[in-house]
Every structure is written in structure tokens, then in C-alpha cells.
Amino acid sequence: MTGGSVTLAPTAVIDGSLVVIGGNVKVESGGTVRHSLVVVGGSLEAPPEFSPRYEQVIIGTPEIGDSIQALGPWLKRGLLWGRVFVPDLRWNWTIVFISFLIGLVFNHAFARQVGACAEVIGRRPVSAFFMGLLMLFLAPILLTIVAASVIGLVVVPFAIAAFFAAGMIGKVGVSRAIGRSVISEQEPDNRLHSARSFILGAVIITLAYMVPLLGLVTWAVIGVFGLGAATMSLATRLKKERPVAPPVFPPVISIDPPPTAPPPPYVTPGPSVSYASSAAISAEPPPYQAAPEVSSDVPPVTHVRPAAPAPPPVMGGLAMYPRAGFFDRVAAMALDIVLIAIANNFLDQIWRGRDEGMFFFLVLAYHIGFWAWKGTTLGGIICNLRVIRTTGEDPRFIDAFVRGLSSIFSIVALGIGCFWMINDAERQMWHDKIAGTVVVKLPRELVLA
């Protein structure tokens, strides 16, 4: 029995076990329990001679039972009806008021972030919803991967706190977006206008929580929208801070043709003379002097425009495509982990008693093999990603092997090696830098080319 008290009369006999959760048990003299008695969050009042045939267990205090009993009406008239707010329960109003104050504080303290979330929901609601579903799917997988190492356990509490903080900011952004749709904000940066939008949206959401079936659906959808909007606004912010540098091409050096020799000077002839003075004329110098002959053995002089120092070699081929984003790579990795988990479960069915650490070996072998074979994995094919060397060539086996082993270091080091790409100009994680590789996002027809 849950959320209630039980009284055994003097003639009462229970052939099996009696389990009471969130309630008290009173046994009168003569009452009998022929198996075990378990009381969780309550008290037991019985005569000294009372004793069940097997075990008698009491867990918790009566205060816990009172709390469980208070949840009984909410479970019956709230959750079972598909709503999260029952207006005739006083403690429900207390929770609503506290949640409203917390949301109002978040809306004021993180006005810019909340406004960005509201803007995302207003412009791209479908993308925000599916991004929220993706994050709900990926978050447990990423936390499991990080917690696989002893050092990673330190990061898990901070990651969970950041996850809930982002969700809270996103939910406040949903309330503000709903309020904006009713009364537009003339001045988005005005704190009073933003508070008005949040209050109006919070009232509408609270009213929706009271409606059977609609209340539970509204609560779930708002959480997904909030998480997706917070993720998309964060990604947009990071992209603005670290834009991808455009490709650099070497300067073109032009060679001017050699200058031609100027024509010889032309001398105007003097006054006319008679034929008798021809001998004197023959003694005079010629009217112009020819340019000196240039030896054919001397090469022509080439004039080259001065150029800047030679730039570093430019990557070509597939390296000219844009670098893959952080969320693209996380999504591809999550798909690969799911596929490997399915394969690992299948191997457990046909290979009994194998080592539990085989899963991590499968993850490493799977990635190294696919990187060396096609430069991508099944998850990378779905997300249009491909691993290449920094020179634009396909990775060799030694590159894939070094990249796979060094990726363990990127994850074990508190995950910093993976998050490093967010502020890296080439979007490289630590294992990319060690192996000399980059991950590019290609058109569909070039992923397996």
C-alpha cells in the first residue's frame, strides 16, 4: 500500500507480506502477519507480543511518510490526468511561486542569453526542437564516456550543473518568446520590456499546466525547446567569436617585358651647300650616331615586381572545404557509439563470458579501421564528415592508429582535448594536432569519393 495507513484488527490475519510506503501501521493485539512486514517512511505501532514470522523492516521517518502522503492527491488528480499543476493543492502554488521567482532572476541576470534563446525560438522553432531532442539523446552518452575514467568523474558534476543551467535559461527564453508573441517588445534591450514578456509567458504556461493531458505535454515540449534554443544560441555565439579563416592563396608574381632601347637621336640637317664643297662635307661627322651594339652573350634584364615574403604552403584538395563543427562531430560520435553498443550486445549473446573491457577495444578498433579504410565512419557518413591529413591527402594506417590512441588522452584529460577545437582556428582536437589531421564537412557525393 502506498500513501495510506493500515490498522490490523484483533482478528486480522495476513497470509503473505505487508508493505506500506508513506504510511503508518497500527497492529492491535491479536493481529497476525504470517510473512514479512515492511514500513517505508512511516511508523509502526504494535503490542510487545507482536512479531511477524519472517522479517520486520522499518525504513525512514514519519516525516517522509507525510511527504509521500502529500504527493498522493497530486499523483491521482495531477499526473494520472496528464497535468503537472493541481490548483487546489496549496504546496503546488508554493512550487509555482518559487519557480517564477527563479525564472525572473534568470531573466534579469542573463538578459542577453535569454534574449538570444527567445530569438532562436522565434526564428527557427523546428530546428530548436530537434536540437533539444538530440541533446537529450547525446548528454547521457557523453557523460558515460567521460565518467569511464576516474579523472573524468570530477567533471561529471560540473557538466550536469551546466546542462541544467542551460536548460533553465532556455526555458526562461521560451516564456519570453511566448510573451513576445502576444505583446511585441519595442525595445528588446529594455529590462522592463523583457520582464513583461517573461511574466506574460509564465502566466500562459502556468494556465496550460492546469489542463489535463495538455499540461504534461506542455511541460515536456518546453523543456525540449529550452534545451535546443540554449544549445543553438551557444553555437552561434562561439561561431561569431571564432570565425573560420578564409583560404589563403599565394600572390601572383607578374614579370614585365624588358624595356626596349630608345631610338637614336635624329639630327636636323644644316643649310644646303653647293656641289663644290662636297669634299668639306665628306669630312664632317655623320648626321647621327648609331646606338652601340649589345653583345648577344649578355642575357636580357628581367624586371620583377617586389613581392611579400613567401607564404607557407597552401593545403589543397579536400582540405579547402570548411572544417566540421563541434556538434557535427559529437553527433557522428554518438551514432558510432550506438552502433558499436548494438554490435557489442550481439557479441555478448554469442560469446559468453568474454571480458567486459572488450567494448572499449571495439570502439578503438572500429574507429582506427574505418579511418584508415575510408577516412570516415558510419556516423561520419551520415553527418557528411571525413578525416584527412593537413596536406589534403587521405589518412594512412599509421595516421589513423596514432589518432585513435591519442584520442584516449583527449577524453581522459577531463575532456579538454575534445573541447579544445571550439577555440582553435583549424577546429582541431588534441588528437588531430598529434596525428596531423583535420575533419572537414563535405557534400554528400564526396564523403566516400
- 34 and 176 co-located in one domain: no
Q: Which residue has the higher pLDDT, 221 or 356?
A: 221
In a domain, 16, yes or no: yes
In a domain, 39, yes or no: yes
Q: Which residue has the higher pLDDT, 306 or 192?
A: 192
Torsional sign, CA 411, 414, 415, 420: negative
Please report, rounded to a whole number, the percentage of residues in the chain having pLDDT higher than 90: 23
- 235 and 336 co-located in one domain: no
> Over the stretch 24-57, which tens digit does the pLDDT of each residue have?
788 888 778 878 888 876 777 888 878 887 777 7
| Averaged pLDDT, 186-204 | 88
Set of cell numbers at residue 131 = 536540437
How many domains would you assign to the chain? 3
The separation between CA 45 and the C-alpha centre of its own chain, rounded to angstroms, equals: 55
What value does the mean pLDDT of the chain take?
Answer: 79
In a domain, 31, yes or no: yes
Q: Which pLDDT belongs to residue 178?
A: 92
In a domain, 166, yes or no: yes
CA pair distance 19, 154, nearest whole angstrom: 39
Please report, rounded to a whole number, the percentage of residues in the chain having pLDDT higher than 70: 75
Residue 84 clears pLDDT 80, i.e. is over it: yes
Lowest mean pLDDT among 26-40, 120-134, 260-274: 260-274
pLDDT grade, residue 202 (50/70/90)? very high
In a domain, 293, yes or no: no
pLDDT grade, residue 149 (50/70/90)? low
| Averaged pLDDT, 137-157 | 71
- 222 and 122 co-located in one domain: yes
| Averaged pLDDT, 165-194 | 88
In a domain, 291, yes or no: no
Q: Which pLDDT belongs to residue 25?
A: 82
101's enclosing H/E stretch is: helix 90-109
CA pair distance 405, 417, nearest whole angstrom: 13
| Averaged pLDDT, 183-196 | 84
> Over the stretch 286-343, which tens digit does the pLDDT of each residue have?
555 555 554 555 555 555 555 555 444 444 578 888 999 888 898 888 888 888 888 8
Q: Which pLDDT belongs to residue 300?
A: 56
Strands 255-256, 303-304: parallel, antiparallel or unpaired by DSSP?
antiparallel
Residues 6+ apart with CB under 8 A from 302: 255, 258
- 86 and 234 co-located in one domain: yes
- 103 and 54 co-located in one domain: no
| Averaged pLDDT, 266-285 | 49
Mark which of 211, 241, 271 sits at the end of a domain: 241
37's enclosing H/E stretch is: strand 37-40
- 24 and 160 co-located in one domain: no
Q: Which pLDDT belongs to residue 440?
A: 93
pLDDT grade, residue 257 (50/70/90)? low
Q: Which pLDDT belongs to residue 273?
A: 47
Could you tell me if 71 and 3 are in contact, meaning their C-beta atoms sit under 8 angstroms apart? yes
- 216 and 359 co-located in one domain: no
**Whole-prediction pTM:** 0.51
- 122 and 28 co-located in one domain: no
CA pair distance 77, 371, nearest whole angstrom: 55
Mark which of 16, 51, 78 sits at the end of a domain: 78
Q: Which pLDDT belongs to residue 445?
A: 83
Residue 246 clears pLDDT 80, i.e. is over it: no
- 362 and 427 co-located in one domain: yes
In a domain, 413, yes or no: yes
Mark which of 241, 269, 284 sits at the end of a domain: 241
> What is the separation, in whole angstroms, between the first and last Cα of the chain?
64
In a domain, 260, yes or no: no
Residues 6+ apart with CB under 8 A from 226: 117, 132, 167, 168, 169, 170, 171, 172, 173, 174
The domain of 442 spans 317-446
- 436 and 391 co-located in one domain: yes
CA pair distance 325, 309, nearest whole angstrom: 32
Beta bridge partners of 26: 7, 45
> Over the stretch 373-422, which tens digit does the pLDDT of each residue have?
989 999 899 888 999 999 888 999 999 999 999 988 888 777 788 888 88
Residues 6+ apart with CB under 8 A from 225: 121, 125, 128, 129, 132, 170, 174
- 119 and 226 co-located in one domain: yes
- 101 and 33 co-located in one domain: no
Kindly list the distances between the CA atom of residue 431 and the CA atoms of 35, 217, 403, in Å, as whole numbers in the listed order.
61, 43, 5
